[in-house]
Chain A
């Protein structure tokens, strides 16, 4: 399992700043999603900054995936980036038929495209996608779905189809997500031998300040003590971020 973050965790941070944040937090994976500071079309044209040796040697966190949306102008740039690096291209948005059609088109063009599934429809979408031979990326949204219900059903496909996971939350939100099944999720992924990326991303833009502060500093993730990570949100904290 390679723990990492999405560029959405700090939309104003460029790639170098995101890599530095990963190193501060001991994270080994970075997912690129278009932000004001991460422009997929520019990266596709100019390549990723730094050297390939840096990535190969482990001196910087690896790009785990490129995320884009059905119908977005970024699909082409994302596909080019994904192919050049090479990493998965994660396709979200639109209805299932549109997403599947786009994934099939991209796979046919040689891109490692994966269907993003999420929420209450995730299990049904996964079943159809697997019948069509499509690889999956699972967006775990603990606040939207019952992990205790979904997890056993998706577990049966983990070895075959789900090789990439994004967890909406964690980071500064982890203390607020008690009782939503994240512990069970991480335990069962570990026992199943999951080796793919597990990317943390904000569950809502209302926590953006807390995430930007969390990304910008070194520190622990919290082991129950309120002083262990002052940028962690506690249950009932203001969504503008920070512990009371």
Chain B
């Protein structure tokens, strides 16, 4: 069950701003906090980027997996 009230729907964001927006949002979280990402496709490339840049620092939980909308809860783990 989603625990976050913060929802970032990236669908209207210009394509090249989506990932930077998501990472800036992640950086704004305190340890233990999370947000829900809403997208129109499975954000696997984003996950790979998280794994590369924030290995061990984030949580990733699918709340909805298509076929039209994907919702993922992304959390910032405690330091």
Residues of A within 8 A of B (CB): 1, 3, 23-26, 167, 169-171, 174-180, 182-184, 186-187, 190-191, 193-195, 198, 200, 220-225, 228
Contact = CB atoms under 8 A, between A and B. Distances in A.
B40 A191 contact: no
Contact of A3 (B6, B20, B35, B38): B38
Interface in B5-59: 5-18, 20-22, 24-25, 28, 35, 38, 40-41, 45
A204 B24 CA distance: 30
B9 A175 contact: no
A106 B12 CA distance: 32
Contact of A174 (B15, B25, B38): B15
A57 B18 CA distance: 31
B68 A25 contact: yes
A190 B11 contact: no
A175 B69 contact: no
A186 B15 contact: no
A220 to B, nearest CB: 5
Interface residues of B, number: 27
B68 A24 contact: yes
State the majority secondary structure of interface residues on B: mixed
A223 B11 CA distance: 9
16 contacts: A1-B9, A3-B11, A25-B68, A171-B12, A174-B13, A174-B15, A182-B12, A182-B13, A186-B9, A187-B22, A190-B6, A193-B5, A194-B7, A198-B9, A224-B15, A225-B15
A179 B14 CA distance: 8
Nearest to B69: A26
Given A25-B68, A187-B25, A222 B9 contact: no
Given A190-B6, A198-B9, A221-B40, A175 B15 contact: yes
Contacts of B45: 223
Contact of A187 (B8, B40, B41): B8
Contacts of B15: 174-175, 178, 221-225, 228
Contacts of A198: 9, 12
Contacts of B17: 178, 182-183
